Structure 1
């Protein structure tokens, strides 16, 4: 597995070909990241919903409440790269942000500012609270770490105040960050929330008939627009995020809804070999550029920090997904390799689709599919059409 371990390769733009970057062990790569990345932890006051109402809550049932949300910001000690978007983590169901810290360090090492909120919500009516995993010592079945797109409003406002009103030395590495240029990093349930944000389904007037669960995922999100009147959400990295499905007909298998993202945005889907919905997810995504990377190993928690070495791999108190092989195990080195590969492909997607970097595009077109850590790598038809148009115009 390739790792970036020099200042030139750290930005990826300095590499003549991505695959020619310095090769180092996964452990050395992780150590370099921890030395080159700084973190700041802030407690943000978030306008959330009271979830003591019966499940599923709806906008009509919800009572607004102020919820303290502990948020960790990861960024390169040498300074962010201003051309890059910043990243908001939308975690999987009840997966705390610290369980993604290796991935967040890796992204920050490549020049990104990453915001990782832990939105703990008291939810006594949650039907999952009786699950067997919550009977384990130390597991909490009263509060859950859940993603919501409205966290983007809270984090964005915090960044705006900090960057515009403060001259503290600890913020110097953030100079040049464009807070109206960002991408979503969604895992599992967070991936579904990311797609809803990217497609505009969280806009208040977009879907008046949306189900209560969608309202919960959006939780009063107020669309944020850039100087051109477009959403500041420019793309998403999604690892095994649940797809948006058409309304189900009894006794029929769920079908994909056509997912349309803005023409100037992108989505990068990722998953383990067992996540069979991935190809339809790519096929039924239209609009901006979409790509799919199926890893050659891993399971639903393949981008989290590694926890257990003997039992089936899940993070503490988390649910084993139905599609995971029941006897799946792994080791820390393999897990670190998956995190590294996810980071490299995600970074290349930003540079290829948002920055129009030809080197990144060629890496995605050729080198990724040759990586032993990749089982399948494909582009959606819209990527090929965009590339053909670019060749004609040039």
Structure 2
């Protein structure tokens, strides 16, 4: 018996061949895709299906993958404005220290993940202080998450010692190392906040468990100068010097890289998480994305936190990634439509070492899927579905979202929880949040 059939949709599989179906869909059993076929083929199977969705006037695609986020920072949306990263961070950390604990981290994470899921994001790599609460929030909402132990050389929000941070990182792998909805990682904040010694410890824990290693890299010119002054080499070379780059490395931002650093990332098989909205708003600069793509680096997309970009809109990130670099290079041929779409789908899956499970609609993969409404003025006419996705789609077009075949968004509303209570709780925190930076 088939659990679910979605039919009569325009289908963008985002597979290696960018297979398209003008009128077709998928069949799902036990959370996985069993068939990708034309509507005619699927019609013969409908009698054996528990549920059939007629997706006429919709586009079916894989769920989006956000490879860099701080979901709980949604609590501080719009709080700190018009500053560059370094002074901005000082105010952000002050607010976080005053407000965050396990309970408020869970609350903010629910808020952030709800926004992401309603916008079609089904998997998020999230760096935040209480990773177990991040997982709990992701499960409450209905997204997969990559997270884990945080490393930071100062007391930070939670006042933990280095020994405690190491223990939490180890324990996270023990608890979440064998589940489908969590991709465990170790996430030191950055080379300017974590010493080489502690970076190596974090990396060793990730390597021991076959996990991911994620950190902020070369986000600003000031960061690059700081690391060069301290250690005599730029950020990526600093990481390379200590053996911290491999195929399970996910490096956020990578705005200020030289040719040698791009070559290192390509040679080591690392992933770059490009965050164009955050980089623009914080005046960090323009990452050399065309050069990275040319070098063969796996480039993915992230929103960063809502405190730096004000929302968690992966469609905006996608459109910016596809357009900004054309203007910077003065070359309309850089960052093609297919390259941009891959950044939010299969490249994201590769970054999480999960391309065999997510990132495209293919038989045997988890049924993480999005249905977009095409009955909108900005969707007509649609000569090329890929072009529509990259340049025209908005998060408000998302109608239905499925995680492993379970419908977690129905007609633009979450199915696992009523978000109204979360919104009320966040609103009640506003006076305290305002006072935290007064």
TM-score after normalising by structure 1: 0.34
**Larger Cα-atom Rg:** 2
Higher relative contact order (CA 8 A, sep 6+): 2
Answer 1 or 2: which has greater helix percent. Answer: 2
TM-score after normalising by structure 2: 0.32
